[in-house]
Amino acid sequence: MSAVLERNATDLLRARFAGAARPCIAVIGTFDGVHHGHRELLRSARRLAAARGLALIAVTMDPRPDALRADGEALPDVCSLQERILRLHWAGADDVVVVPFTLETAALTYADYCALLTEELGVRAIYVGEDFALGRGREGTPGRMRALGIEVHTHALVPSASCAGKASSTNVRNAIARGVDPRRALTAA
């Protein structure tokens, strides 16, 4: 990535984080639909935030990373961005930061993302699902982020309420595409 595009992506994230910046625990993910697996993750993070007297901030992406890569062929979101933000607040987030997921922000390294999270947002610890990865090429695994000195808590994936496998927004989107009522699909996630 060129230095100009990297600087623009960094400046964009710095500006987004500035409005919510304070010592915090961050939960990071797309959180499309905020299904029961997401809510479990937020509950765990909320407990740590309360124990440490810190804010809980949800960091989400829009559009979804898979939608950006799908060249217009991705299934629609489970809910609107505004609804997602509201659901994240209902699930326990004190604030929500929306990261514009663009080719430029997708190209940032996980080390750059982590520096922005800690230095600009004030992150003291991160909660993510165990299959989480951050940064260019999804190279920022929880282990690699820990190697940078960041406290990272991984939450076990929550089983689906209706089928084998994990609770998944992808499963919800697929069910909706098959004609299942969105509320029913979300409940069955």
Q: How far apart are CA 105 and CA 76, in angstroms?
A: 21
Helix then strand then coil, % of the chain, to nearest 5: 45, 20, 35
Residue 95 three-state SS: strand
User: How much is the pLDDT for 32?
Assistant: 86
User: How much is the pLDDT for 176?
Assistant: 64
Q: Which residues of the chain have pLDDT under 70?
A: 1-7, 69-72, 157-177, 182, 185-189
Residue 183 three-state SS: helix
DSSP assignment letter at 59: E
User: How much is the pLDDT for 1?
Assistant: 46
User: How much is the pLDDT for 69?
Assistant: 67
Domains parsed from the chain with CATH numbers: 3-158 (3.40.50.620)
Its pTM stands at 0.86
Long-range CB pairs of 115-120 (<8 Å, 24+ gap) are 116/10, 116/13, 116/14, 116/17, 117/17, 117/26, 117/59, 117/150, 118/150, 120/13, 120/14, 120/17, 120/18, 120/21
Q: Please, which residues bridge with residue 134 across strands?
A: 140
